[in-house]
Structure 1
């Protein structure tokens, strides 16, 4: 090769490399986020949830992404199993190189991912797991939670339960972390407000395997004046159907976690109970600019109304995007610093992620169930700001490990 030809080849190679570098510099990078949820195990909630976060990602990228970079979500199904969730988390971090992990539904699965986050020093933004252990007794620097916790929802419901004349209470809840935690904190808070109440019966059916008739019969035998229900999904349908058939709810007050969420109320159709005090999401009657904008965008994209899962997924990825924008980095310590005290605009108004325990102030609607046009709905509801139902900083210091 002549010297002239050699110089020409070298120049062309350098020019090509320079052009490639220039093109690369002008192209937005991808910021990858790992998302894990129980899609195959709990589709009634997780399918609307997925649509919610997909809408959020679309909006984030349409508005400049993460400081000019594109937000990309890599999603995995844990099948409702802690072991599968850990396998998915490992793959997302080691193989896919995600900046953080988000998602989760069942409390035991969420706790497993939270422990993984602590061990691997990767940030986990939990959307749905409601157990109080996630932010208090087993809380860690790397885990944050968005949905109102068991404590928060129990405080909202206990506030209403304390107004009832009932003194004799019975409880029914799925026998795993979420149900156990919800019952324990409701009992504590109701007894604090009403020292005269007593709990005369408990039923702990396995998750997804309730014998509605046997549970209803056992509760009725204790002759309670009121019932706390923590069942949801298909178990709730069985419990309501069998309890109604056996007259369990006649002349008895019922206070119920989650039952006002359309995911769980709609399948009951005309069999929906009436007069239960519940937490939920009356999407059809909320008239605020923030919610109207979200509802229209969701309905325009999917041709169906939003569910609470839709809102949860939407807020989850909007929050993740705000953390990444504020951090201007994907380093875990920078993400943690950005998340603490972060304020996020949501369809329910502004929420804050508390620095002391990493719990957001996302609230809940509390009202009563009714049947309208052959469908279960929520009526007489109010929105309860989560900030008003969280313990003080001094109380949190006793609940959460320090350091």
Structure 2
């Protein structure tokens, strides 16, 4: 009998201990393509780890420890939905975050709408996530397709090129980026025409036939939106065939270290790119981030590191700014939320739930056998978005 009482008491103590532990922490769910896209998501994880350490070392969220529960979606929308269900129903998170591929982000956004849970889309770039398919519960951190297309189109319009060809992966991200770049460049330069387009499958590019078709159209300039392993294959084959010689190239994301570094001495010269020149940013907020990141990880950051860090800092700013952790309370708190990031202060616009995070634009160059960005300028995100009232009209009626 004493043994049974002892076991019962032990169970009660364990239960009460677990309850106290839960009361002393705030759990947030996070989903990303860790196994399928490690070049971006591993630095992203390291950025999250730094932010989480800084937040909890400074006392957490009003004295409570911030806990991030991460799951891998393998780059598949179905797996992302399974993970989201587990996080919300089993793990009891107050909100979810993350996502890399645009189709995965759209699936998670729809989940957020159906389940009425806040989703902070960290990386997905498609404009649909905040505009044509936007909903009350989804907010997006990353500088969007529209914003970066506007930045790149601004530079492309300065080129003498009139005949353009496009290469982009055949899924939501590539399709939406090419569409908006065409629209914005044509507005600035009504004399341009698009004479060829290639849509290789993501992660499975056959660069020879793609470039042969592009070269046959005799464009003056090429717009490229391939990334990761597809980009390496495209550059290598293009260099071999001389397709890029005497042609301007505008290349989305190519200046991000996770995609530029693998090119090594094959890095093309003079491509206009968006990216992250961590080695040449001298702002106080970036220097503080860079020093802390290198001290913790003994490595240099990638763009994924910035996104992971800023995602967690956004979550912390939200949770510190409200006492109401209900979905309605968090939605209200996200609107016009101000967050300090390594790229400077940003705001999550109430009108369309898009953050004003900016981006760096420059040109590729080879230095000491490695690709770098030169002639770099930082473009403020707010300057490349439609006015909030106009953007709000792009969203579905509630």
TM-score (norm 2): 0.95
Tell me by how many angstroms 1:47 deviates: 0.2
Moved more, 389-398 or 228-237: 389-398
Q: How many residues align?
A: 389
The alpha carbon displacement at 1:174 in A equals 0.1
- Specify the alignment match of 2:359 in structure 1: 364
Find the counterpart in structure 1 of residue 47 from structure 2.
Answer: 52
1:68, CA displacement in angstroms? 1.1
- Deviation string 1:332-363 (CA, Å, 9 cap, x unpaired) is 00001111001101111100000000000001
Match of 1:262 in 2: 257
Q: Is 1:328 equivalent to 2:327 in the alignment?
A: no
Q: Is 2:195 the counterpart of 1:203?
A: no
> What is the rounded CA distance, in whole Å, between the counterparts of 2:17 and 2:291 in structure 1?
41
Q: Which residue is 1:179 aligned to?
A: 174
- Equivalents in 1 of 2:205, 2:17: separation in Å? 62
How does the TM-score come out when normalised to structure 1?
Answer: 0.94
CA distance in 1, matches of 2:214, 2:39: 28
Distance verdict in 2 for CA 1:225–1:402, change over 3 Å:
same
The separation in 2 between residues aligned to 1:231 and 1:29, in whole angstroms, is 44
Q: Which residue of 2 aligns with 1:14?
A: none
Partner of 1:95: 90
Deviation string for 1:99-151 (max 9, x for gaps)? 00000000000000000000000000010000000000000000000000000
Residue 329 of structure 1: CA displacement? 2.7
* Shift of residue 22, structure 1, vs aligned partner: 11
| Match status 1:166 vs 2:161 | yes
Alignment of 1:1-400 (within 5 A): 29-400=24-395
Query: Using a 3 Å threshold, how does the CA distance of structure 1 residues 166 and 327 change in structure 2: closer, same or farther?
Result: same
Q: Is contact 2:55–2:316 with CA below 8 Å preserved after alignment?
A: yes
Aligned-partner Cα distance in 2 for 1:220–1:27: 60
Residues 355-364 or 62-71, more deviating: 62-71
- Report Cα offsets for 1:264-311 as digits up to 9, x if no partner: 000000001110000000000111111011001110011000000001
The alignment partner of 1:61 has SS state of helix
Q: Deviations over 1:218-240 (max 9, x none)?
A: 10000000000000000000000
2:351·2:389 contact (CA, 8 Å) conserved in 1?
no
- Distance in 2, Cα, partners of 1:394 & 1:327: 26
Distance 2:192 2:18 in 1: 70
Equivalent position of 1:3 in the other structure: none
What is the rounded CA distance, in whole Å, between the counterparts of 2:280 and 2:290 in structure 1? Answer: 11
Flag as ranges the 4+ runs of structure 1 deviating above 3 A.
20-28
Measured on the aligned residues, the alpha-carbon RMSD in Å equals: 2.0
Q: Is the 8 A contact 1:232 1:264 kept in 2?
A: yes
Given that residues 100 and 123 in structure 2 are in contact (C-alpha distance below 8 angstroms), is that contact kept between their aligned partners in structure 1? yes
Cα distance in 2 for partners of 1:71, 1:354 equals: 25
Distance 2:207 2:339 in 1: 41
What residue is the counterpart of 1:8 in the other structure? none
Distance 1:315 1:103 in 2: 11
CA 23–90 in structure 1, closer or farther in 2 if over 3 Å, else same: closer
**Partners of 1:175 and 1:193 in 2: how far apart?**
26
CA deviation after TM superposition for structure 1 residue 216, in Å: 0.9
Cα 1:68–1:179 shift into 2, 3 Å: same
8 Å Cα contact 2:349-2:388 kept in structure 1:
no
Q: Quote the offset at 1:26 in angstroms.
A: 10
Structure with larger Rg: 1
Deviation sequence 1:159-202 (CA, Å, 0-9, x none) = 00000000000000000000000000000000000000000000
- Shift of the 245–69 alpha-carbon distance from structure 1 to 2, 3 Å rule, reads same
Higher mean C-alpha deviation, range 375-384 or range 58-67:
58-67
Give, in whole Å, the separation in 1 of the partners of 2:394 and 2:23: 43
